[in-house]
Amino acid sequence: MATLEDLRVELNTIIRDYDLFNEVVDRMWKSSALATILSKNKRQVSGGISYEFRVRLTETDIPTQRKRFYDVIETSRVGNPVVGKFQLGIMQKAISISKDEIEANKGEAKIIDVVTDRMKEFEESAKKQFLLDLIYGNPAVDANAPTGLEVILTPNNNYAGIDETIYPSWSPVSINASTSTYAVDTDTKLLSTYSTTDARTIDLFINDVVYKISKGQPELKPNIVLTTGHIYSLIKAAIYPQVILQDKALVDVGFENVKFSGLTIIEDPFIPDRTMYFLSTDDIMMLYKSLDLNPPEFKVEDPSGKSRTLISIVEVEWTLACTKRRNQAKVTNVGDAQS
């Protein structure tokens, strides 16, 4: 008869041999259009959870291809290098299987089925947390959280430990549509600067924002616009019945998008209401460590020792690291609030 230790060793071997956890995390990296785009710029690191590398502060910065021990590509400000500090967030999830379940599902095939079911539960929970953290992750609120886009796109918060009063060009572009030249208008129009919301209106608006970011330099132009489903539908309706172009790579993995004014426009269910992010994703890295899976251990759940559960803790460590904030912008108060 198999002992508890035999069951623990067998289950640990099955999980590692079939690489079930890494398959789940790999799908997590591709669980939204935004995640799919950012995961193309993943950089695996090793060692601790805090990393330093040089950032680009002005349009005249020249990129380098230097590497450090943790294999993160750096960029360097010529003559006066500035180091940004980035810390990985830690997402922990527990996988549990009772002793009774294990004994009722003897044999490798049945155990794999049980583990796979737990993986589905883990995947749904981890995916939702990951997608929320992509936008709202904030280590200042939760020490274990990764850094999300809201932190990167919020000025004057000393992101990456760099003082924006000393280095103003480290600040992202921030546009408030209700107080700038872009006045808020009705639900059927994006901005009252223009008389109607048609393709020409959208083109003028996007190019105005892009110019504020790039100052007319094509190489500094963002490549992605991320916005709410409502604003995305307005843009798409304005472009129709023109031919709607799409990024084929995103379409092929199941994500609708619109290519317009030289940018790929996508929607995200978690982005704040009435908001648009203009992103240069080449300047945003997704730092991550290889998956950490603690060996399963039995937890005794009653004094008699008859009820036991096998617990395994999965740790996913990652964060977003922006090396050039000046190429990123956030536009708020676009259109009317949605009920």
Q: What CATH number is given to the structural domain containing 182?
A: 3.30.1930
Does 174 share its domain with 259? yes
Does 22 share its domain with 117? yes
In a domain? residue 157 = no
Does 289 share its domain with 177? no
| Domain count along the chain | 2
pLDDT score at 152: 95
- Which ranges of the chain have pLDDT less than 50? 1, 59-79, 182-189, 192-195, 339
In a domain? residue 243 = yes
Domain that holds residue 108: 4-151+285-323
Does 103 share its domain with 120? yes
* Residue matched to tokens 């539960």: 121
Does 10 share its domain with 146? yes
pLDDT score at 290: 73
Does 120 share its domain with 180? no
Does 70 share its domain with 147? yes
Does 142 share its domain with 241? no
Residues 6 or more apart whose CB falls under 8 angstroms from that of 299 comprise 308, 309, 310, 311
Residue 29's closest CA among 253, 225, 227? 253
Does 184 share its domain with 296? no
On the 0-12 / 13-18 / 19+ scale of CB atoms within 10 A, 78 is exposed
Does 18 share its domain with 144? yes
Does 267 share its domain with 121? no
pLDDT score at 146: 92
pLDDT score at 187: 41
Does 78 share its domain with 47? yes
pLDDT score at 298: 63
Q: How far apart (Å, rounded) are the C-alpha atoms in residues 173 and 45?
A: 29
pLDDT score at 328: 93
* Element (DSSP H or E) covering residue 93: strand 89-98
